[in-house]
């Protein structure tokens, strides 16, 4: 097919790859197909439905490399599910009686778009899959190529999502300051809540990087500068059952000995228990347009802090959340290399008319390819049996 106009959008929550991925796509098209027109829909799928877009000018192409230095998204995000008609109507994105998929397809046709690049997580790309299927069934000629963005690293069957490595690194940096708070009060409990709805990879990788950082530092141990006070003492992820009574007994012994306890907690750990408690109290459980429990509103970190705070006889309890700090960072060198690989193939796939989500396919020998949309799923579980995680927990004394 002849590609004349390419559109892109970023959607869902932020991740440390969006700005760089946009820049990478612009750079790659400018290199291999400089005559292709590029536009960007503003605010994700909301901008697509509203027909709000900007054109990539020659000046933007010339300065696209600067986008690798920034976090966030230069073209804005939103959480919109095109098959959730009621939500789209409620938000004024479509009129009553309109099908958002049809509105999106018509807008793409009106704008003369031959290729759409979607940069987002599992919700973004499953929405892209819905759109691609609708386009195919209704004879719209359009190639849709997605890029996997999620700091949770939870997209099936993709080995590594863009931005996840950076988010873990930034979570460790966040903890390096926050855990100094252990010295602000006797018997101090710090809960570091890390993003991760159904996947504990980010919490585990953040804890691994932070634990390694502690091991590299020098401390004045004879002057109240005990490295044990700086270290992480427990890591809780959604994939493992948390025996609160047993862990509280273990952690209380640590509290009694050194006067503080530091927990790294995935925000998705124990959500079922929190939701059950809310329902029992007759409270409404808030959900987003995709039907997910809104974790920032049910606040699992506070719930766990309450449970452990009492059992550890903590004098002061602090819950600190690194998610927004981590996800808004600029991509690190690890992610920049991965983004370069993926954006390059995304453009090549688009020019060849091959739709899919670009990533290393775990079900096909980790080959970097455009993975078929019907195979894309969210909520990939973190494998808690991987050696590095078992070694981490053993080094923390956590069974």
* Active site (catalytic) residues: 152
Radius of gyration of the chain (CA): 23
CA distance 119 to 116: 10
Residue found by looking up tokens 């009129």 in the block: 95
- How far apart CA 265 and CA 190 sit, in angstroms, is 10
Of the candidates 262, 104, 122, 85, the residue with the CA atom closest to the CA atom of residue 197? 122
User: 59: Cβ–Cβ under 8 A, 6 or more apart, which residues?
Assistant: none
List the 143-148 sheet strands across, edge first.
Answer: 53-55, 37-41, 5-10, 115-120, 143-148, 356-361, 367-371
State how far the Cα of 249 lies from the Cα of 217, in Å rounded to an integer: 29
Q: Distances from the Cα of 303 to the Cαs of 4, 5, 31, in angstroms? A: 53, 50, 52
């Amino acid at each position: 097919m002849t590609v004349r106009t390419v559109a892109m959008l970023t959607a869902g929550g932020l991740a440390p790859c969006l700005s760089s991925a946009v820049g990478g796509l612009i750079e790659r098209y400018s290199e291999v197909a400089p005559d292709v027109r590029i536009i960007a829909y503003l605010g994700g799928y909301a901008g697509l439905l509203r027909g709000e877009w900007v054109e990539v000018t020659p000046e933007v192409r010339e300065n696209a490399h600067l986008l690798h230095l920034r976090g966030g998204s230069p073209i804005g995000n939103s959480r919109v599910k095109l098959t959730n008609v009621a939500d789209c109507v409620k938000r004024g994105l479509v009129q009553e009686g309109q099908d958002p998929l049809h509105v999106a397809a018509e807008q793409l046709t009106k704008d003369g778009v031959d290729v759409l690049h979607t940069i987002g997580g599992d919700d973004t790309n499953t929405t892209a899959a819905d759109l691609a299927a609708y386009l195919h069934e209704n004879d719209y000629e359009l190639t849709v190529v997605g890029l996997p963005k999620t700091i949770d690293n939870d997209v099936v069957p993709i080995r590594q999502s863009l931005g996840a490595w950076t988010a873990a690194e930034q979570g460790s940096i966040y903890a390096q300051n926050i855990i100094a708070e252990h010295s602000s009060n006797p018997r101090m409990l710090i809960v570091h809540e890390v993003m991760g709805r159904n996947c504990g990879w980010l919490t585990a990788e953040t804890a691994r990087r932070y634990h390694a950082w502690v091991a590299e530092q020098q401390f004045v141990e004879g002057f109240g500068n005990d490295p044990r006070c700086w270290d992480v003492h427990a890591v809780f992820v959604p994939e493992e059952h948390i025996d609160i009574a047993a862990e509280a007994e273990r952690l209380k012994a640590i509290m009694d000995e050194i006067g503080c306890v530091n927990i790294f907690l995935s925000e998705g750990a124990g959500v079922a228990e929190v939701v059950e408690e809310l329902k029992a109290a007759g409270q409404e459980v808030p959900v987003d347009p995709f039907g997910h429990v809104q974790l920032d509103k049910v606040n699992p970190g506070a719930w766990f802090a309450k449970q452990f705070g009492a059992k550890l006889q903590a004098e002061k309890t602090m819950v600190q959340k690194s998610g927004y700090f981590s996800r808004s960072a600029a991509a690190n060198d690890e992610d920049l290399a991965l983004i370069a690989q993926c954006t390059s193939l995304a453009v090549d796939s688009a020019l060849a008319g091959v739709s899919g989500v670009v990533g290393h396919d775990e079900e096909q020998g980790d080959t970097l390819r455009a993975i078929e949309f019907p195979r894309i799923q969210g909520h990939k579980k973190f494998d808690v049996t991987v050696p590095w995680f078992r070694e981490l927990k053993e080094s923390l004394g956590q069974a």
